[in-house]
Amino acid sequence: MTRIEEIARHDGRRVTLRGWLANRRSSGKIHFLQIRDGSGFIQGVMSRATVGDGTFDVTRHLGQETAIEVEGDVRADTRAPGGYEIDITALRVVGPSTDYPITPKEHGPDFLLDRRHLWIRSSRQQAVLRIRHEVIDATRDYLNSRGFVLADTPIFTPAACEGTTTLFPVPYFDHGTVYLTQSGQLYNEATAMALGRVYSFGPTFRAEKSKTRRHLTEFWMVEPEMAWADLDDVIELAEGLVAEVVARVLDRRARELAALGRDTAPLERIRTPFARLTYDDAARLLKEKGLPFEWGGDFGSPDETALSEAFDGPVAVTGFPAAIKAFYFEPEPDRPEISRSVDILAPEGYGEIIGGGQRIADYELLERRIAEHGLPRDAFEWYLDLRRYGSVPHGGFGMGIERVVAWICGLEHLREAIPFPRMLYRFTP
């Protein structure tokens, strides 16, 4: 069996393809079959003279997405999208398909999301999912080649990491309630003290009531954490990662970007170091742009969009007020109301793709913050241990995979950046 993506190696030879019928056109004595096998698409040309009346007449009635095995001769054709066509000599139906619900005409987003298990077969969705794979693969390579050790973190957790308002509770036997993890960070801090440089990569959960195009209730996050690191080290690692991921997708997924109609010029311009902007300057910039933003507030979606449109490439915003950030951020020594935090905003209006910073190293300060944030001390005793036994400056960040995929692919909404999206009103199929 030959895979369509390897078809060039079989030029001039007879091959067998196994796949699905994506589309069919017929003109008198010829059928044009659009065949896909998961690795690519190719046009098969079938003539009555070659295959005979039986196969030719059966083929006329094959529905979209019929599973077929096709035998034929590979022929280079400069007009074909992939550079090759196949002259079909035989066709066998393996799995029939009738009245496939997703036709080449336009469908609304709800119609498609209800049929997400089928929608992912479309060329556009396949392209997004292949780019997602590349983003993940490039991320792992980047971290693995820099001495980071993958250390998985638990999904059932006893307490909040990113604020108590977005926790998903789960009943846990007779022990009461545990929560689906919002972030592996606290555990990464522990493994970083064991292994030096670590990362977690897994699903994370936020009970986000906000129904925006940037929020999922379940999303995948990669979270590197480094012992002996400050905010600058964190920013440098984050910039390098983003630049590397973009370069890798441009290099290896040009075909998919083209299938999506993505203008790659803004991606090709990305260089490190990224522009830097303090929160103070960001607040001024938003006011200048006429947005109703006040110092001390958190960026809403319109603010992020405005900031990210103000720069040609990604921008690293640093120094958020401690009051709007999670409990664990190290304060600036000479300005304790400011946290040693960073958000990286993607350009073209995409907004935050990375959030992170330097963590509190001091035992007493951390203890105080846990109390100020009304967090249950019991659940954080183990975390305080990290400051009791050999505490060092350390930091890291989290990068949301779907945010990055949506930006690189130029998607309107995060829901297309994951095979099966979970949102406020969407948890099927």
Is the Cβ of residue 19 or residue 355 nearer to Mg ion in the bound state? 355
Residue 331 binds what, of ligand 4AD, Mg ion, none (CB under 5 to 8 Å, by partner type)?
Answer: none
Is the Cβ of residue 197 or residue 214 nearer to Mg ion in the bound state? 214
Rounded to an integer, what distance in angstroms lies between the CA atom of residue 132 and that of residue 421? 14
Output the smallest distance, CB 372 to ligand 4AD, in A: 18
Q: What six digits make up the tokens of 425?
A: 């009103």
Is the Cβ of residue 77 or residue 236 nearer to ligand 4AD in the bound state? 236
Give which of 360, 128, 55 is closest to 46, Cα–Cα.
55
Output the smallest distance, CB 4 to Mg ion, in A: 41
Strands (E), 129-247: 149-150, 156-157, 168-171, 177-180, 197-205, 218-227
Output the smallest distance, CB 346 to Mg ion, in A: 13
Q: Which residues bind ligand 4AD (CB under 6 A)?
A: 161-162, 183, 185, 206, 208, 215-216, 219, 221, 223, 352-356, 396-400, 402-403, 414
Residue 398 binds what, of Mg ion, ligand 4AD, none (CB under 5 to 8 Å, by partner type)?
Answer: ligand 4AD
Residue 199 binds what, of ligand 4AD, Mg ion, none (CB under 5 to 8 Å, by partner type)?
Answer: none
Residue 189 binds what, of ligand 4AD, Mg ion, none (CB under 5 to 8 Å, by partner type)?
Answer: none
Is the Cβ of residue 51 or residue 229 nearer to ligand 4AD in the bound state? 229
Residue 400 binds what, of ligand 4AD, Mg ion, none (CB under 5 to 8 Å, by partner type)?
Answer: ligand 4AD
Residue 402 binds what, of Mg ion, ligand 4AD, none (CB under 5 to 8 Å, by partner type)?
Answer: ligand 4AD
Is the Cβ of residue 253 or residue 415 nearer to ligand 4AD in the bound state? 415
* H or E segment and range at residue 44: strand 41-47
* H-state helical runs in 253-314: 254-259, 265-268, 279-288, 301-309
Output the smallest distance, CB 360 to ligand 4AD, in A: 13
Is the Cβ of residue 313 or residue 355 nearer to Mg ion in the bound state? 355
Residue 208 binds what, of ligand 4AD, Mg ion, none (CB under 5 to 8 Å, by partner type)?
Answer: ligand 4AD
Sign of the CA dihedral with 36 first, then 38, 41, and 47 last: negative
* Rounded alpha-carbon distances, angstroms, from residue 415 to 216, 353, 427: 8, 15, 11
* H-state helical runs in 40-161: 48-60, 109-114, 116-119, 123-144
Rounded to an integer, what distance in angstroms lies between the CA atom of residue 164 and that of residue 2? 53
Is the Cβ of residue 116 or residue 214 nearer to ligand 4AD in the bound state? 214
Q: Are strands 41-47 and 156-157 parallel, antiparallel or unpaired?
A: unpaired
**What torsion, rounded to 10 degrees, do the Cα atoms 374, 375, 376, 377 define?**
-100
Q: Kindly identify the residues of this chain, within the stretch 351-410, that bind Mg ion according to CB under 5 A.
A: 355
For 265, half-sphere exposure in the C-beta direction (CA atoms, 13 angstrom radius) is 2
- Interaction site with Mg ion (CB under 5 A): 355
